């Protein structure tokens, strides 16, 4: 027979595969899918046993793969997150709600380790964190989100929206309410500070430049402030 020769058989197989590549792949996928559906529990049990017995090897393999494909994986993760944002938020919220007590107990048990890890990360990424903070806190979303969280922790009203903050800045013509200087990096200042019971509401928020906000601090304004948008 002509194909008893191994080289001829290999050449024939290669040619056949190239001519029928798509059909063979489709058949293979269908067969694997059907086999998995028929043996799902058995496959899962074997996978769990293997994973338990090869934990260190699997971890090392995953770390090595991630290190060699870091940018590719980051791009894929970012693309997936952008196209599945509501689903990811809902899934994360549901997961946390189901494991809230377990997570809290784990954090309490490993508090010192987590604190040390966080401090080490901050120390080694200080410039990147500072650059991110400078950008984030001067955006509508960043400013509103951070201030709203602070007000809620203090049990104060927190109803200011992004649209209201944008309207307040426009009403002040993007100028500081205290010194009158125009700035593209205005901060949100509480006329009545939070420590004195001032809520995060549009009647209590004015735009302020960084120096004026820092100078005022946790005190009431030295001079009365005319609220433009109430």
Q: How many CB atoms lie within 10 A of CB 202?
A: 18
Residue extents of the structural domains in the chain: 135-216
pLDDT at 143 over 70: no
N- to C-terminal Cα distance for the chain? 95
pLDDT at 109 over 90: yes
pLDDT-derived band at 133 (thresholds 50, 70, 90) equals confident
Model pLDDT for residues 162-220, shown as the tens digit of each residue = 888 889 999 999 999 999 998 878 888 999 999 899 999 999 999 999 899 999 988 99
Q: Which residues, in sequence order, are CB contacts of 166 under 8 Å at separation 6+?
A: 140
Using CA atoms, how far apart are residues 230 and 167, in angstroms rounded to an integer?
Answer: 11
Out of 23-32, 40-49, 131-140, which region has the weakest mean confidence (pLDDT)? 131-140
Cβ-contact 198, 190 below 8 angstroms: yes
CATH architecture for residues 135-216: Orthogonal Bundle (1.10)
Cβ-contact 212, 179 below 8 angstroms: yes
Using CA atoms, how far apart are residues 141 and 189, in angstroms rounded to an integer?
Answer: 16
Output the pTM of the full model: 0.45
Model pLDDT for residues 52-63, shown as the tens digit of each residue = 999 999 999 999
Return the structure tokens found at 98. Answer: 């189901």
Q: Tell me, what's the pLDDT at 1?
A: 47
Cβ-contact 201, 217 below 8 angstroms: no
Return the structure tokens found at 39. Answer: 């043996």
The predicted model gives 70-88 an average pLDDT of: 91
pLDDT at 151 over 70: yes
Return the structure tokens found at 70. Answer: 């870091």
- Residue showing tokens 């990811």: 88
pLDDT-derived band at 137 (thresholds 50, 70, 90) equals low
């Amino acid at each position: 027979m002509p194909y008893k020769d191994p080289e001829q058989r290999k050449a024939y197989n290669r040619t056949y595969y190239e001519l029928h590549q798509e059909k063979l792949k489709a058949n293979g996928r269908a067969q694997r899918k059907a086999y998995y559906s028929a043996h799902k529990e058995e496959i899962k049990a074997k996978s769990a046993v293997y994973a338990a017995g090869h934990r260190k090897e699997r971890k090392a393999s995953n770390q090595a793969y991630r290190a060699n494909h870091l940018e590719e994986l980051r791009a894929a993760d970012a693309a997936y997150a952008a196209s599945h944002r509501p689903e990811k938020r809902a899934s994360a919220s549901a997961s946390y709600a189901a494991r809230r007590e377990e997570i809290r107990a784990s954090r309490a048990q490993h508090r010192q380790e987590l604190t040390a890890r966080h401090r080490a990360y901050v120390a080694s990424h200080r410039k990147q964190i500072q650059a991110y903070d400078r950008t984030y806190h001067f955006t509508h979303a960043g400013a509103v989100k951070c201030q709203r969280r602070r007000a809620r922790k203090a049990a104060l009203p927190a109803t200011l929206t992004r649209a209201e903050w944008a309207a307040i800045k426009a009403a002040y013509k993007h100028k500081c309410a205290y010194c009158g200087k125009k700035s593209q990096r205005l901060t949100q200042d509480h006329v009545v500070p939070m420590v004195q019971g001032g809520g995060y509401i549009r009647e209590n928020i004015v735009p302020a430049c960084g120096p004026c906000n820092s100078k005022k601090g946790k005190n009431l304004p030295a001079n009365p402030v005319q609220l433009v948008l109430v």
